[in-house]
Amino acid sequence: MASPVYVYAEFDAKGLRKTTRQVLTVAHRIAGGGDVVAVVVGPADASAVTGAGVSSVLTIQAPALETYTAWAYAKALAGAVESNGVGSVLLGCTSQGKEMAPMVAQRLGLALVADVTGTQGEGGEMTYVRPIYAGKALSQVKPAEANYVATIRPNAFPDHAGDGSAEVKAVEVAFDEADSRVTVESLEVKASERPDLTEAEYIVSGGVAVGSAEGFKPVEEVADALGAAVGASRAAVNAGYIDVSNQVGQTGKTVGPQLYIALGISGAIQHLAGMSTSKCIVAVNTDEDAPIFKAAHYGIVGDLFEIAPLLAEEIRKAKA
Amino acid sequence: MADLKVLVLVKQTFNTEARIQLTGDGGIDDKGIKLICNPYDEFAIEEAVQMKERGDASHIRLLTIGPDKAVEALRQGLAMGADEAVRVWDDALAGADGGSIANVLAAAIKKYEWDLLLCGKIAVDDQAFEVPGRLSVLLDTPVINAAAKIELADGGVKVTRDTDAGTETLLTKLPAMITTEKGLNEPRYPPLPKIMKAKRKPIEDLSLADLGGDLVKQMISVTGNELPPERSGATMIKGSAAEQAAELVRLLKEEAKVL
């Protein structure tokens, strides 16, 4: 019997993360009709996953798992997989997934394929595509064995259509005091009505050209018209115009929306590294030589303070 | 006053402005590419040096896996203020995967005393975010990733970092392992006297034979590389601001079909 393919079910404040549904798409490609098993670690509600298109859901609960820490959660995931029968383990390449994955791989003695943006082939012959050198090249990699750990980049794959009603099985994983060596003193959540940046279909970003925190208002107006998330360049964050949680780029978040509108962003390599896989990129900049115009699909040489309100109005008209 | 022994892991990588080209057989061409110390590792070195200057750390050792030219990355760290360095190399390590690198690093690390293990959160070449997590398990020391701020507190360490969830402050006891995020500090450019002095600081060379054990096992291979399709550049929209906005939305709706 073929080994199951496991998917780490990740949750945020709003519930099951969209990325998990995308990971399920890849899991089903690997499983080729075989079992895909979701794993829920900690206090999250497993019923959110039972209809996501999986054969079963494993849950692990323990005092060590009350709050997320990479070490304890990775130990739980690896332990559950081991006790249920080792198979490939897929996670989203999110903050949680990317730090849990190598620990899970090490505990299970498996290879790690990190930050997958594409697949080639099928089943046992599957090879993976992943970006290297800030996306300046794409590597094709192949694990040597049938089972491995992989992290899947958010928005690189479509959501798996949920169906069915899987059974939920609680699994015991042993923890000791040493597993709680890292404790969370505080977590400051950036609550927002807007979609999560890494999972957003639409993003409107502002660069340091906005000139002030107030200067983000036109950016927000366009975002509101689109129902988009708001992003920012590192320079805008460093200038104190917007919070670091909005930063898109190599040291910020990596995004892959349908539409990315860059207002007053020059297009430094580090910024492009975070958004170049966006399906459609629009750039507005007063400098016609700004590098962003090479990466964009559509460009307007103009002042964002003039263009943005007009753009917001046109979008509202188009959606009415 | 803490007296911490700090071990900093360093990787030599391509410089970040490098234009990436492929070799005839699909490999990454390194001809003429200027090599640098992985920028994320520079934050780790700088953090250790600042701890030493504050009197929190007493000794800084650098460790790298790399061929002869990797010595340059070590000399840079020594010039910044590290005390000594170790370089591991063996031809069998060329192209070694993350699992093998982690095994070799763990075997080397176990030869030295340390209280704090620091390294960059990722390397700018492979971007795998793999080795620190593997090492964490091999050394039985939970790693805290992407530190934006590190403070010593009550016989342990307090680390602040940004994640998808928000801004987190974590506490851990020593010995601790922390990876660094850009912006943790401003790495210094050592002045010439420090660069000269660094040439006399010891660098220990280790081979796989020195580390013992069967450490290299290829679990994954790169079957090829590709360059992303050339961007032809944006369709520039002309006209008055109002005309541009209207035309853009029309194109997004009818041509790009994203609205």
**Would you state the pLDDT for residue A124?**
72
For residue B139, the chain A residues in CB contact (below 8 A) are none
Mean pLDDT for A2-18 is: 93
CA A202/CA A197 separation, integer angstroms: 9
Helix residue ranges, H only, chain A: 18-31, 70-84, 95-108, 217-226, 234-238, 269-275, 292-295, 304-319
The CATH code of the domain that includes B43 is: 3.40.50.620
For B29, name the nearest residue in chain A, comparing CA atoms only.
A137
Percent above pLDDT 90 for chain A: 88
Residue B228 lies in a domain: no
The CATH code of the domain that includes A139 is: 3.40.50.620
Q: Cβ contact (<8 Å) for A307 and B132?
A: no
Give B189's pLDDT tier (boundaries 50, 70, 90).
very high
**Contact yes or no for B248/A304 (Cβ under 8 A):** no
pLDDT in tens, B77-118: 999 999 999 999 999 999 999 999 999 999 999 999 999 999
pLDDT at A270 > cutoff 90: no
pLDDT in tens, B26-38: 999 999 999 999 9
Q: What angle do CA A224, A229, A230 make, to 5 degrees?
A: 90
pLDDT at A101 > cutoff 90: yes
Residue A186 lies in a domain: no
**Would you state the pLDDT for residue B69?**
96
**Would you state the pLDDT for residue B232?**
85
pLDDT at A6 > cutoff 90: yes
Omega before A63 cis (within 30°)?
A: no
Looking at the structure, tell me whether residues A97 and A175 fall in a common domain. Answer: yes
**Would you state the pLDDT for residue A1?**
62
Mean pLDDT, chain A, whole residue set: 95
Mean pLDDT for A17-40 is: 95
Residue A122 belongs to domain spanning:
5-180
For A268, name the nearest residue in chain B, comparing CA atoms only.
B17
> Reduced to 3 states, what is the DSSP secondary structure of residue A283?
strand
Looking at the structure, tell me whether residues A112 and A13 fall in a common domain. Answer: yes
Residue B14 lies in a domain: yes
For A196, name the nearest residue in chain B, comparing CA atoms only.
B164
CA B176/CA B140 separation, integer angstroms: 10
**Would you state the pLDDT for residue B1?**
59
ipTM score here? 0.95
pLDDT in tens, B140-174: 999 999 999 999 988 899 999 999 888 999 999 99
Q: Cβ contact (<8 Å) for A148 and B237?
A: no
Looking at the structure, tell me whether residues B171 and B136 fall in a common domain. Answer: yes
The CATH code of the domain that includes A218 is: 3.40.50.1220
Any CB–CB contact under 8 A between A101 and chain B? yes
**Would you state the pLDDT for residue B226?**
94
Q: Report how many domains make up chain A.
A: 2
**Residue A84, Cβ neighbours under 10 Å: how many?**
17
Any CB–CB contact under 8 A between A299 and chain B? yes
Residue B74 belongs to domain spanning:
4-211
Give B221's pLDDT tier (boundaries 50, 70, 90).
very high
Shortest Cα distance, chain B CAs vs residue A3, angstroms: 18
- 185-204 in chain A: CB under 8 A from chain B: 185-190, 196, 198
Residue B217 lies in a domain: no
**Contact yes or no for B48/B57 (Cβ under 8 A):** yes
Query: Rounded to the nearest 5°, which phi and psi values hold at A107?
Result: -65, -35
Instruction: Please name the amino acid found at residue A13.
Output: A
pLDDT in tens, A35-68: 999 999 999 999 999 999 999 999 999 999 999 9
